[in-house]
Amino acid sequence: MDKIITKNKSKSIKFIAVCLMITYHLFAFPARIVEVSYNSLFEIGGQTIQFYISRAGGICVGMFTFLSGYGLYISYNKNISYKGIFKRIYNFYKKYWLVFFIFILGGFVLGKYKFNLTQFILNLIGLEDSYNGEWWYVRLYIMLLLSYPIINKILDRYNYKFVLIISFLINIGGYGITTLSAIFNIKFRLLALLALLLGGQFLFILGVVIAKYGLFNSLNEKINIKRKTYIYLSIVTFFIIVFIEDILVIGEIAKLILIPIFVFTLVNAIKDESCLSKLGRHSTNMWLTHSFFCYYYFQRITFILKYPILILLQLIVITIIVSIILEKIEEVFLSKLNIFNRKIIWIEKTLNKYLSKYITNIYKERLDYYYNIFKEQIPIPNLKIRKMTSRWGVCNIKNHNVTLNLELSKYDIECLNYVIVHELSHFIHPNHSKNFWLQVSKYYPNYKEVRKYLKNNT
């Protein structure tokens, strides 16, 4: 198992990735910056320098996807279960929904959005991104998480090199489906989801493979070089990505190879204990909130400093502050929820206590009643009540115990009456012979109807 990308280093790389994402959305789409203008240092071929650099920031998605696959394997290793996957999905949705209800409901109040119930629900679960176009990754992330146990089984069964080759080809196919759907204006949700998953799974699977087979460990052992060299290599790799952006198809395919190389150089360039890892815990909230500032709500404020580097730093700081506030809100909400849960548990225990006493009284009253009408000589029964999965009652002749199933309290009282007569009859006939059933019918004539009812409704 690979050990190069520690938890702290993963957080650091995620912070770098989200900063690249912010750069990408600030400067790579000048047509979306409609409310303001800002200064550029210089231009190349009619485009600003920040435009060229920021476009390479699109690798942030691939970096997140790669780290997700790597991190999942490290977290779960062989102990894979959908329970753990759903817990991770739930933890993500807690953050997503908090941002959703603050920013999207705020958008309704400000008149930015018009309410449509179907649209609202689809955005709420992440199947649509009409409120915030930069949330499209939610769909891919959830689908990849759900696919993880299957991917791991495939890797256990087949050679990982073969799996990676097939995955790589499928990824290119996914790009093709997405491109053709855009050209021919095909709007079919299931096809779009399939294309998204196919076109986004390779780096996720590659992350799992590298973690599973310790490939980064092996690579480090073979090319033992200094940290400073890795810093230079990471810068060089990033600028190679900048230069290949203009090469349409080849550029996209090349990035599938260059992104893990970039991550590898960063991992070795970053110290395990760095300030980046502390900032990295805000990466999810920064991703979810930054586009509201640069596109949807606060564009004038975001670009007020006029110079690209200052604009970028300002938005990074703003989103970190927003993330801290969101964490505090979540903390307060969970604290209140825990208090509420404790109250619910106390109420439940109190109700169960009184309910248990009430049920015991009813069971005892019915047992005493039938004991007293039995003309045959039988011992005084000791009542016991417990939950049983395969029996309605048990008669212990030696200890004089009659144990009745707690579940009988959920049925008509006649069911309880029949089971009591049944168990008391065992003191006379400790079997299910003909004489036993004659004994039961003596004190409960319609026992067959109730017996059939219990058998059919268990």
| Residue 431 DSSP class | S
| Residue 433 DSSP class | -
Nearest residue to 131 (alpha-carbon basis) of 148, 143, 118: 118
User: With the C-alpha atoms ordered 339, 340, 344, 347, is the resulting torsion angle positive or negative?
Assistant: positive
User: With the C-alpha atoms ordered 256, 262, 268, 273, is the resulting torsion angle positive or negative?
Assistant: negative
* Model confidence pLDDT, tens digit, residues 398-416: 899 999 998 899 899 999 9
| Residue 32 DSSP class | G
User: Which residues, other chains included, contact 154 with Cβ-Cβ below 8 Å and sequence gap of 6+?
Assistant: 163
Q: Burial, 374: exposed, middle or buried (Cβ in 10 Å; 0-12, 13-18, 19+)?
A: middle
User: With the C-alpha atoms ordered 156, 158, 164, 168, is the resulting torsion angle positive or negative?
Assistant: negative
Do residues 425 and 397 touch, judged by C-beta distance below 8 A?
no
CB atoms within 10 A of CB 74: 19
Q: pLDDT value at position 355?
A: 84
CA 347 to chain centre: 31
Q: Which two tokens stand for residue 94?
A: 């807690």
Percent of the chain at pLDDT exceeding 70 = 98
Q: Which two tokens stand for residue 133?
A: 């176009």
CA 289 to chain centre: 19
Q: How far apart are CA 271 and CA 218, in angstroms?
A: 19
* Model confidence pLDDT, tens digit, residues 266-312: 999 998 888 899 999 999 999 999 999 999 998 999 999 989 999 99
Q: How far apart are CA 1 and CA 76, in angstroms?
A: 12
Q: pLDDT value at position 197?
A: 96
Q: Which two tokens stand for residue 219?
A: 């690579």
SS3 279: helix
Q: Is residue 254 within a helix (H) or strand (E), and if so which, with residue range?
A: helix 248-269
What pTM, to 2 d.p., does this model score?
0.75
Q: How far apart are CA 50 and CA 354, in angstroms?
A: 71
Do residues 415 and 422 touch, judged by C-beta distance below 8 A?
no
Q: pLDDT value at position 48?
A: 86
SS3 397: coil
Do residues 97 and 326 touch, judged by C-beta distance below 8 A?
no
Q: How far apart are CA 48 and CA 26, in angstroms?
A: 12
User: Which residues, other chains included, contact 283 with Cβ-Cβ below 8 Å and sequence gap of 6+?
Assistant: 11, 14, 15, 17, 18
Do residues 162 and 87 touch, judged by C-beta distance below 8 A?
no
CA 22 to chain centre: 24
Q: How far apart are CA 243 and CA 263, in angstroms?
A: 18
Weakly modelled stretches of the chain, pLDDT under 70:
78, 248, 337, 339-340, 458
Rounded to a whole number of angstroms, the CA Rg of the chain reads 33
* Long-range CB pairs of 238-247, under 8 A, 24+ apart, other chains included: 238/56, 238/262, 239/56, 241/56, 241/59, 242/52, 242/53, 242/55, 242/56, 245/52, 245/55, 245/56, 245/58
Q: pLDDT value at position 78?
A: 64
**Amino acid, single-letter form, for residue 344:** I
**Following DSSP, what letter does each residue of 74-121 receive, concatenated?**
HHHTT---HHHHHHHHHHHHHHHHHHIIIIIHHHHHHTSS---HHHHH
Q: In what order do the strands lie in the sheet with 401-405?
A: 382-386, 401-405, 393-396
Q: How far apart are CA 319 and CA 157, in angstroms?
A: 43
Q: pLDDT value at position 337?
A: 67
Q: Burial, 172: exposed, middle or buried (Cβ in 10 Å; 0-12, 13-18, 19+)?
A: middle
| Residue 211 DSSP class | H
Do residues 92 and 30 touch, judged by C-beta distance below 8 A?
no
